[in-house]
Chains A and B, each alone.
Chain A
Amino acid sequence: MQGSGAARTQPFIEDVAVGQELPVVVRNASRVQLFLYSAATWNPHRIHYDVDYARFEGHPDVIVHGPLQGAWLSQYVTDWAGPRGRILGLSWQNRASALPELDYEFRGRVTAVEGDVVSLDVWEQTPEGAVLMPGQATVRLPNRS
């Protein structure tokens, strides 16, 4: 599974600077994952498991749930913030559909540091650089002292 095996390190507010880039994380949803996410969220929408129906609605295949990509974005932020970091806010726009069995990159950049709160631009893109889901996040980080 992507994104969950990395060592959990703790960044401190003193170590963060505007312009700093977050490490890239690649996610890739299997069809089984789409099914489990539909089940765990009680979501019966056919575009996530019924290929014929998804094509009837004009999609090339079943599509990845927008909120699943939002949850990936949330995880991207909380994984970076570490065990003692706290996510305070997160927003995202779903601009384009994502498909199963394809790689998508999660990227981020520090846009502001005020007190112990860090603002981030975070987004999901194709490996070619097309942004599917732009977003912003704010997190509180611990002090080193």
Chain B
Amino acid sequence: MTIDQGAAGAAPPSLIPAHTMALVGSVLRGPVTAEITAKEAQRYAQAVGDLNPVYFDEAAARAAGHDGLVAPPTFVQYALVQGRPIEETRTDGLFQGDIPLDLAVQRTMFGGEEWDFLAPVLVGDRITAETRLAALDQKEGSKGPFVRITRETTYRNQAGDVVARTRQIGIAR
């Protein structure tokens, strides 16, 4: 949670109010739990265009050393998405945020992701996810100041083992 404030002179105005910075480290969502189903994991794989047999054929998955059908590595985050009523969407179609981050910015864009895959996620697993606000970093870009928002989600299976972690990066300016 550092704030880059440029090399010299007066610090640029902060885009991060103190009450928002105070949220760093806190839980934004969860814990929520969902079962990994073959139907949902396979629909995701088909929508990506990834027809790896380990997602569709249990014998192929076992031949590859798995204990059963596997879900695509990045699927787990969508298995945890909870349905919401249409009335809760905004003009741009997205659902209203669970906990809006109050920042002095116009818009937030998807900046990328970082994944740690600690163990394959198998069909039938019950996965529990919890998302924390990991960091808010104000940066100086070529188009002016922006805030790099890092949300870290930890995924645990029914045994309590962490199977994956993801850090989703949002760019707010």
* Residues of A participating in the B interface, judged by any CB pair closer than 8 Å: 1-4, 8, 27, 33, 36-37, 39-42, 44-47, 50, 53, 57, 66-68, 70-72, 74-75, 78-79, 83-84, 86-94, 133, 135
* Contact call B92/A70, Cβ cutoff below 8 A: no
Q: B22 to chain A: closest CB distance in Å?
A: 28
* Contact call B92/A47, Cβ cutoff below 8 A: yes
Query: In the complex, which residue of chain A has the Cβ closest to the Cβ of B89?
Result: A44
Number of interface residues of B (CB under 8 A): 38
Q: Is B74 an interface residue (CB 8 A)?
A: yes
Secondary structure of the A side of the interface?
A: mixed
Q: What is the CA–CA distance of A52 and B74 in the complex, to the nearest angstrom? A: 30
Q: Can you offer 7 A-B residue contacts whose CB atoms are under 8 A?
A: A41-B44, A44-B89, A45-B93, A70-B113, A74-B115, A90-B115, A94-B111
Instruction: Give which listed residue, A40, A45, A46, contacts B47 with CB less than 8 A.
Output: A40
Which residues of B103-133 are within 8 A (CB) of A?
109-117, 120
Instruction: Give which listed residue, A4, A75, A89, contacts B116 with CB less than 8 A.
Output: A89
The residues of B that contact A71 with a CB separation of less than 8 Å are 48, 50, 72, 74
Q: What is the CA–CA distance of A92 and B169 in the complex, to the nearest angstrom? A: 10
Q: What is the CA–CA distance of A121 and B63 in the complex, to the nearest angstrom? A: 29
* Contact call A86/B120, Cβ cutoff below 8 A: yes
Secondary structure of the B side of the interface?
A: mixed
* Contact call A45/B94, Cβ cutoff below 8 A: yes
Q: What is the CA–CA distance of A94 and B169 in the complex, to the nearest angstrom? A: 10
- Sorted nearest first, the 7 A-B pairs with minimum C-beta distance are A83-B64, A46-B93, A91-B114, A93-B112, A40-B47, A36-B47, A4-B51
Q: A4-B50, A4-B52, A37-B47 are in contact. Are A74 and B64 (CB under 8 A)?
A: no
Q: B119 to chain A: closest CB distance in Å?
A: 9
Q: Is B24 an interface residue (CB 8 A)?
A: no
* Contact call B115/A89, Cβ cutoff below 8 A: yes
The residues of B that contact A135 with a CB separation of less than 8 Å are 112
The residues of A that contact B169 with a CB separation of less than 8 Å are 93
The residues of B that contact A42 with a CB separation of less than 8 Å are 78, 81, 83
The residues of A that contact B116 with a CB separation of less than 8 Å are 88-89
Q: B6 to chain A: closest CB distance in Å?
A: 23
* Contact call A1/B81, Cβ cutoff below 8 A: no
Q: Is B73 an interface residue (CB 8 A)?
A: yes
Q: What is the CA–CA distance of A70 and B114 in the complex, to the nearest angstrom? A: 10
Known: A1-B49, A4-B51, A37-B48. 7 other contacts (CB 8 A): A39-B43, A40-B78, A41-B78, A45-B94, A53-B93, A72-B49, A92-B113
The residues of B that contact A41 with a CB separation of less than 8 Å are 44, 47, 78, 81
